[in-house]
């Protein structure tokens, strides 16, 4: 396919997109023309195949194919109402996959929507990864604050480790830090939180935040009083999770947070790479 045609098709596909209730969409009637289908009934057959593919992928058809009516101009200022379908990017991708590959427009659309769909998948994945990274960084800051705070209250580093482990014991249904590491297969020299799911990291952070607050508010002093406070807060957070049927000790471990950080950087490079598809080559 010639570069000039690729540039032209990219421009027409992008100009045909519009916003519908916050979702980027294409009109099936307009996509029919873009994909070089002269008869609506033939294009409708392709749409039906795409809907079948959507169902097979366990996606809700109504989330990607929305039936609407539109009014078109007729000769002598007359108007006619016809049926149309609003299509998401994913729906357009499925239509392209089920279209006639002999058409240059279909060949273009298959690549165009595949790349765009993958870019969206990468973005969604990165958001989830970044959320866990952010939660872990927040917990590190909160635990650092607790460590510094209780040092002023007569507790050394060994005491901090014991307080944290007993807090974990309350949060994880009787399993202290070391026991949870063995349970999840985490190396002894690595922090437990580096392998916990986001919900558990945030639970630990909330309990520790409350401990920090109450240590300062109630001027708690010494390892015993601060330990009791931390156990209480972790138990209450556990009870809160339990109301939603969540038992922290039963959740499987997540990927090493260090590998996660590298994955986020790799995703940034991939997003940048896919973005280059949308750039018009510079004229020589």
Per-residue pLDDT of the chain (284 residues; tens, 9 = 90+): 677 877 888 888 889 989 888 888 899 999 999 999 999 999 999 999 999 999 998 888 998 999 998 776 767 676 778 889 999 888 998 999 998 878 889 888 888 887 766 666 666 677 677 788 889 999 999 999 999 999 999 999 999 999 999 999 999 999 999 999 999 999 999 999 999 999 999 999 999 999 999 999 999 999 999 999 999 999 999 999 999 999 999 999 998 988 877 766 665 555 444 443 334 444 44
DSSP, collapsed to helix, strand or coil, labels residue 83 as strand
Task: Answer for the pair 142, 150: CB distance below 8 angstroms, yes or no.
Answer: no
Residue 269 confidence (pLDDT): 56
Cβ neighbours, 10 Å, residue 93: 24
What integer pLDDT is reported at residue 268 of this predicted model? 52
107 class by beta-carbon count within 10 Å (0-12 exposed, 13-18 middle, 19+ buried)? middle
Residue 127 structure tokens: 């958001």
What are the residue boundaries of the structural domains of the chain, listed by start? 3-100, 127-270
CB 91 within 8 A of CB 50: yes
Residue 135's region, left for phi above 0, alpha for psi from -120 to 50, else beta, is alpha
- Looking at residue 272, what is its pLDDT? 47
pLDDT at 151: 94
Residue 117, pLDDT score? 64
Please give the pLDDT value at position 74: 67
**Which tokens in the block code for residue 61?**
């058809």
Task: Give the 3-state secondary structure of residue 27.
Answer: strand
């Amino acid at each position: 396919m010639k570069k000039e045609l690729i540039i032209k098709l990219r421009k027409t596909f992008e100009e045909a997109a519009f916003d519908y209730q916050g979702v980027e969409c294409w009109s099936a009637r307009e996509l029919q023309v873009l994909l070089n289908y002269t008869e609506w009934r033939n294009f409708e057959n392709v749409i039906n195949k795409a809907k079948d593919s959507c169902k097979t992928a366990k996606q809700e058809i109504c989330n990607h194919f929305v039936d609407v009516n539109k009014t078109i101009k007729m000769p002598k200022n007359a108007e006619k109402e016809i049926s149309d379908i609003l299509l998401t990017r994913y729906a357009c991708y499925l239509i392209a996959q089920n279209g006639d590959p002999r058409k240059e427009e279909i060949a273009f659309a298959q690549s165009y929507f595949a790349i765009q769909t993958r870019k969206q998948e990468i973005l969604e994945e990165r958001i989830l990864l970044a959320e866990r990274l952010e939660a872990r960084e927040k917990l590190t800051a909160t635990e650092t604050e607790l460590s510094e705070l209780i040092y002023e209250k007569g507790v050394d580093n060994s005491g901090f480790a014991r307080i944290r482990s007993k807090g974990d014991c309350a949060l994880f249904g009787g399993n202290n830090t070391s026991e949870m590491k063995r349970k999840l297969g985490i190396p002894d020299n690595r922090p437990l939180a580096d392998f916990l799911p986001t919900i558990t990291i945030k639970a630990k952070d909330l309990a520790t935040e409350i401990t920090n607050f109450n240590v300062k508010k109630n001027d708690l002093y010494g390892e015993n009083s601060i330990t009791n406070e931390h156990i209480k807060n972790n138990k209450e957070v556990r009870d809160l999770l339990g109301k939603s049927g969540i038992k922290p000790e039963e959740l499987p471990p997540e990927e090493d947070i260090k590998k996660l950080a590298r994955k986020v950087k790799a995703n940034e490079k991939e997003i940048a790479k896919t973005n280059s598809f949308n750039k018009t080559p510079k004229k020589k």
